[in-house]
């Protein structure tokens, strides 16, 4: 009973971490890229329609691209993981002595020795699935990928990118174009700081340090778009 609850808690924690990573990946990318585009376009022209059109085009193109990349890259990782599982199975069957010694070495590094070590190795030898899991996780440093969640995770990345992309655009709908770029930078910077702080609280790290790091990296990246737009400015 307690072991089942522990496993459930571990799976929920891992799921939360994965979703948080997907949200940050999409949201941060959408924020930074769209801010860079609207700053660059607004530096080159004061035409509000062009600025919003450029921002919306960047937002939707970025979200579709992020979702597609997340999907295809995860499928590639899944294919690689499967190929390594089959390779480990083949090696276990063809060179069991070598693989057995690798298992023994892994557990020796964890401090097991003597009869207890040999009992563990013998148990693993008699359960091929356990053997493969040990080799995948501790020899190859690879973790299993949930195939059923690939599409949902990719859509979450894309949706987060859309939401993040719309944040820098909000000031251009609400205030004059003269002040909107400054407001876009400020609201994006605050959002990036908040995301970094929340990430640190949920995972591991110092909230203020993490927030400042994300703020600086994102804002400086976006300001590159402003510099390019200013260089080719038509005003």
Of 224, 219, 227, 235, the C-alpha closest to 32 is 219
pLDDT at residue 18, as a whole number: 64
Burial tier of 100 (Cβ tally within 10 Å: 0-12, 13-18, 19+): middle
Q: What is the pTM of this model?
A: 0.70
pLDDT at residue 180, as a whole number: 86
DSSP 13-51: HHHHHHHHHHHHHHHHHHHHHHHHHHHHHHHH---HHHH
The alpha carbon of residue 98 and the mean position of all alpha carbons in its chain are separated, in whole angstroms, by 36
pLDDT at residue 204, as a whole number: 64
Q: In angstroms, rounded to a whole number, what is the distance separating the alpha carbons of residues 117 and 115?
A: 5
Q: In angstroms, rounded to a whole number, what is the distance separating the alpha carbons of residues 187 and 119?
A: 60
Q: In angstroms, rounded to a whole number, what is the distance separating the alpha carbons of residues 82 and 28?
A: 31
pLDDT at residue 80, as a whole number: 92
Q: In angstroms, rounded to a whole number, what is the distance separating the alpha carbons of residues 25 and 27?
A: 6
pLDDT at residue 5, as a whole number: 32
Q: In angstroms, rounded to a whole number, what is the distance separating the alpha carbons of residues 22 and 47?
A: 35
Q: What is the DSSP letter of 12?
A: H
Blockwise average pLDDT, block size 10, the chain, 235 residues: 37 54 79 85 84 89 88 90 91 88 89 88 87 87 81 88 90 87 86 78 72 78 72 57
The alpha carbon of residue 26 and the mean position of all alpha carbons in its chain are separated, in whole angstroms, by 8
Can you tell me which residue has the tokens 């276990």? 92
178-199 pLDDT per residue, tens: 888 888 888 888 888 887 777 7
pLDDT at residue 83, as a whole number: 92
């Amino acid at each position: 009973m307690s072991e089942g609850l522990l496993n459930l808690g571990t799976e929920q924690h891992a799921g939360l971490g994965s979703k948080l990573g997907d949200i940050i990946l999409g949201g941060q990318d959408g924020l930074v890229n769209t801010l860079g585009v609207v700053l660059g376009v607004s530096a080159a022209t004061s035409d509000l329609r062009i600025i919003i059109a450029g921002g919306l085009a960047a937002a939707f193109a970025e979200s579709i691209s992020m979702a597609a990349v997340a999907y295809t890259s995860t499928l590639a990782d899944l294919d690689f993981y499967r190929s390594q599982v089959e390779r480990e199975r083949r090696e276990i069957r063809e060179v069991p002595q070598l693989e057995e010694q690798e298992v023994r070495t892994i557990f020796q590094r964890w401090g097991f020795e003597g009869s207890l070590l040999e009992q563990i190795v013998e148990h693993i030898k008699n359960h091929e699935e356990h053997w493969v899991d040990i080799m995948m996780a501790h020899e190859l440093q690879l973790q299993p990928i949930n195939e059923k969640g690939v599409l949902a995770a990719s859509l979450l990345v894309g949706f987060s990118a859309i939401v993040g992309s719309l944040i820098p655009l909000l000031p251009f709908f609400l205030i004059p174009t003269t002040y909107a770029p400054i407001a876009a930078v400020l609201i994006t910077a605050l959002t990036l700081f908040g995301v970094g702080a929340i990430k640190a609280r949920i995972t591991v790290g110092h909230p203020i340090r993490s927030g400042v790091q994300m703020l600086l990296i994102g804002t400086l990246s976006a300001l590159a778009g402003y510099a390019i737009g200013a260089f080719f400015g038509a005003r």
